[in-house]
Amino acid sequence: MARSAPELPPQYYAAARSGHRPSSSSSSAAASCAVALLFLLLAAGGAAAALFLLYRPRAPAIAVTAVQLPAFAVANGTVAFTFQQLASVRNPNRSPLAHYDSSLHVAYGGGEVGSMYIPAGQIGGGRTQYMATSFTVPAFAVSGPSSAAAQPATISVPASGPAPHVTAALLMDPQPQQQQQQAPVMEVDSLLVVKGKVTVLKVFTHHVEAAKVCRIGVSPADGRVLGFRC
């Protein structure tokens, strides 16, 4: 008489199922998912870097092109004049630049002698806007001739050069160049500050600010602008 195989307890089947190794197809599927996830992360990082390079906010570029003092008065050791400055402001961003709280300041001897606020406006992406400012600087005390003569006589002029009428006056002046350089020079400083904000992708707003300082050489006798550097 044949003997039947002994019955195994249920715990044996549970242990056998728990010790079953995953098939090769399951491993390849998990590896494919990991590679796909890594590719998506790299693509998202590359897209974010490209957007940052294209739309990252940058401060405007300021260039002063002309400075003039059309009205100039000297009395009792003080001077008063009308200060005019023409500057170009370029927006290097792809998005428009909304500027506000911009101002122009004029200083002499380390102290401010006049200032004005520039009206708010907007500069399109990649565009350049010209800002012509003019205001009256009230009378302020200046140094005597001895102090003026002690200042450096040579005024460095940038590539843009002085105003056209100044160049014509220098060419028509019969005095030698050496005598012109020895003439007293009054130096004033101008500070143009442009503040604003750039909205990137119509969502993110960034504040930007730029400033340009210029040293201007002025004849204390008649207010002629002898040159300027920025």
String of DSSP letters for 174-213: -S-HHHHHTS--EEEEEEEEEEEEEEETTTEEEEEEEEEE
Three-state SS for 75?
strand
pTM of the complete model: 0.64
The pLDDT confidence band at residue 165, using thresholds 50, 70 and 90, is very low
| Lowest model confidence (mean pLDDT) among 102-116, 156-170, 180-194 | 156-170
Decide which of 1.10.4100, 2.60.40, 3.40.50, 1.10.3470 is the CATH code for 61-142+184-229. Answer: 2.60.40
Q: Name the burial class of residue 84, with classes exposed (0-12), middle (13-18) and buried (19+) by CB atoms within 10 angstroms of its CB.
A: middle
What pLDDT digit, counting tens, does each position of 116-161 carry?
A: 999 999 999 999 999 999 999 999 999 765 333 334 333 333 333 3
* pLDDT (average), residues 82-108: 95
Question: Tokens representing 135?
Answer: 């205001």
Over residues 34-72, the pLDDT tens digits come to: 777 776 776 666 655 555 556 688 999 999 999 999 999
Bridge pairing between strands 225-229 and 204-218? antiparallel
| Nearest alpha-carbon partner for 162 in 67, 92, 88 | 67
